[in-house]
Chains A and B, each alone.
Chain A
Amino acid sequence: MAKADKGYFYIDQTCIGCGACEHACPGKVDAIARVEDDFLGRFVVDEQDCINCGVCIPLCPVLCIHDARADGLLEGSGGYRAIAELQAWAAAR
């Protein structure tokens, strides 16, 4: 049976792909998966499966997992956004 509420937790684009969150997600929930074909190996939360337990949040080393109810939707900030500048530089050449 489908869950009544969608999950509120999400991973922003500054994820470094360490995977600590993936194995923190309760096994039967299993709401976190690697983004397919993403070179940077980032992860994503499936909002249909997430139960908002928040276990994954303190295990993230770059603070990229957020509660949309508290923070709203963020693109992510800090150092790990800087690669976008290098990508733009390379794309412009």
Chain B
Amino acid sequence: MSARVQDMSPLPIVANLDDEGLAQYEANYTSRFKVWAEVLERNVENIHRGSYSLHWMNTDKANWGKRAKPSSRGMTYTDINRIRGYGEVPDKAEWFNFAPRGAVREPYRHEMPVIEEYTVVDKGELWADNIITLYEEAKARQWNATRDIPWNELEALPDDLEKATCQLCTFLTEIEFAAGDFPAKWMYRIPQDFLEVKSFLATQIMDEARHQEVFRKRAIAGGGLLHAAPGFEWALTSILNAPTHTMGTFLLNLLGEGLVLSIFRSGEMIAKTHVDKEIFRRCLQDEARHVSYGVLEFKNYLDTHPNRAAAEEQMHRFCDIGEQVVLSAFVEPALIEPIAILLGGGLKKIDEGMGGVAHMWRMFIQEYLQRCKAAGFDRSARCTIPTEFPWGAAA
């Protein structure tokens, strides 16, 4: 029967390979599947002989016998991590397959597949000390964009305010797509030994899916989606293309989602209907978790880096570029003009509303610098974004 595995042909691949590349691909395929075939053959023989194995009942090398007890909150990761053998998160992952942390896996190492895409192997590149509590909070605060928003109560707005709201929702939808793609991209690169981080990233992906859903629905319920923002899309692309997980998390969670958090925290002033206020209020809770992970992940990265000074300098250089993501947002007319109209109270009061945008700009910069400071990274003297809104500065 194992011949079935050995004789299987590699799946067709989309990429065009030359003869040499194709031969290498087929050789890798054959090599990988050889072990699978051997294990399969052994197991098939046992079945044919009617022979039991029962090796899995041997607890000599298992962390067997100590039962996890739930706390009054239920059974959390913290509760099960208290049991010896399960809660030791390695500084560097060595298992690049699906064998669970704390299971008996060493005897099978040589027969295990290797997931080559698991490239984020250092705890310093992904851990945050609040990751477990943020995961619990995320599960407790999930909401449903279909039923939890009082869509039937959406009030009609004057045309200018409705267009501004729909444009803001269009812009936010673009952001949320990128904000979902980023953790999805990196989650697949994180080995299973960091299961707490993978679990949290899964909630972040769900949060972002719900956010793009709710803003898309709000726009289409109020008139429709309006204009995409090409300038800002380049900034979003730079988040996805960040060279490391920590750099990308800094860009997305600390900087980008920080900006979005600032917008949502201003939702009481920006939103013109109680339905919109409810949307902002709910999204705000989700974004706060993402920002929280971003800050403490960055703090953990710096605190555990063997050469902190070098790591900080590298991050400063990265920030010189990364901060342009936020600048790209704050100079984007598809964002600041609708916000100014909403803050001002109409198109005729857009100039007044720009005063509010100036406050938001200042607020964002201060919040961003505080996040950096909380992570142990003083960016105040090197921040490339003007601390004051330069509206009309050249006039």
A binding-site residues for B, Cβ under 8 Å: 16-24, 26-28, 30, 39-41, 58-63, 78-83, 85-87, 89-90, 93
Binary interface profile of B, 235-274, with partner A (CB < 8 Å = 1, else 0)? 0000000000000000000000000010001111100000
How far, in whole Å, are A69 and B229 apart by their CA atoms in the complex?
Answer: 51
How far, in whole Å, are A62 and B356 apart by their CA atoms in the complex?
Answer: 24
B370 at the interface (CB under 8 A from A): yes
B288 and A17 contact, CB distance less than 8 A: yes
Given A23-B137, A62-B371, do A79 and B73 touch, yes or no (CB 8 Å)?
Answer: no
7 additional contacts (CB under 8 A) given A16-B261, A16-B292, A41-B285:
A17-B284, A19-B140, A20-B292, A22-B137, A61-B371, A79-B369, A89-B359
Complex interface: chain A residues within 8 A of B296 (CB): 59, 61
Of the candidates B137, B281, B371, the one whose C-beta lies within 8 Å of that of A19 is B137
B288 and A41 contact, CB distance less than 8 A: yes
User: Smallest Cβ distance from B131 to chain A, in angstroms?
Assistant: 9
A39 and B277 contact, CB distance less than 8 A: yes
Complex interface: chain B residues within 8 A of A89 (CB): 355-356, 359
Given A41-B288, A61-B296, do A30 and B370 touch, yes or no (CB 8 Å)?
Answer: no
Complex interface: chain A residues within 8 A of B288 (CB): 16-19, 41
A90 and B71 contact, CB distance less than 8 A: no
9 CB < 8 A contacts A-B: A17-B284, A18-B288, A20-B130, A39-B268, A61-B130, A79-B368, A81-B366, A86-B359, A89-B356
User: Smallest Cβ distance from A55 to chain B, in angstroms?
Assistant: 9
A85 and B362 contact, CB distance less than 8 A: yes
B343 at the interface (CB under 8 A from A): yes
User: Smallest Cβ distance from B8 to chain A, in angstroms?
Assistant: 47
A61 and B292 contact, CB distance less than 8 A: yes
Binary interface profile of B, 358-392, with partner A (CB < 8 Å = 1, else 0)? 01101101111111011000000000000000000
Given A61-B295, A79-B366, do A40 and B265 touch, yes or no (CB 8 Å)?
Answer: yes
How far, in whole Å, are A28 and B73 apart by their CA atoms in the complex?
Answer: 8
Give B292's nearest chain A residue, CB to CB. A18
How far, in whole Å, are A60 and B352 apart by their CA atoms in the complex?
Answer: 36
Give A84's nearest chain B residue, CB to CB. B363
How far, in whole Å, are A93 and B356 apart by their CA atoms in the complex?
Answer: 10
Complex interface: chain A residues within 8 A of B370 (CB): 62, 78-80
A19 and B269 contact, CB distance less than 8 A: no
A86 and B277 contact, CB distance less than 8 A: no
Which 3 A-B pairs rank lowest in CB-CB distance, beginning with the nearest? A79-B366, A79-B370, A19-B137
B374 and A63 contact, CB distance less than 8 A: yes
How far, in whole Å, are A5 and B71 apart by their CA atoms in the complex?
Answer: 24
Given A39-B267, A61-B292, A79-B369, do A23 and B129 touch, yes or no (CB 8 Å)?
Answer: no
Complex interface: chain A residues within 8 A of B140 (CB): 19, 23
A86 and B374 contact, CB distance less than 8 A: no
User: Smallest Cβ distance from B143 to chain A, in angstroms?
Assistant: 12
A28 and B137 contact, CB distance less than 8 A: no
A20 and B133 contact, CB distance less than 8 A: yes
Given A20-B292, A86-B266, do A26 and B71 touch, yes or no (CB 8 Å)?
Answer: yes
Of the candidates B133, B343, B367, the one whose C-beta lies within 8 Å of that of A22 is B133
B179 at the interface (CB under 8 A from A): no
User: Smallest Cβ distance from B18 to chain A, in angstroms?
Assistant: 50
Complex interface: chain B residues within 8 A of A30 (CB): 72
How far, in whole Å, are A80 and B366 apart by their CA atoms in the complex?
Answer: 7
Given A58-B129, A62-B370, A79-B371, do A40 and B284 touch, yes or no (CB 8 Å)?
Answer: yes
Given A41-B288, A79-B371, A90-B343, do A18 and B134 touch, yes or no (CB 8 Å)?
Answer: yes
Complex interface: chain B residues within 8 A of A26 (CB): 71
Of the candidates A19, A63, A80, A85, the one whose C-beta lies within 8 Å of that of B367 is A80
A85 and B363 contact, CB distance less than 8 A: yes
How far, in whole Å, are A79 and B76 apart by their CA atoms in the complex?
Answer: 33
B137 and A20 contact, CB distance less than 8 A: yes
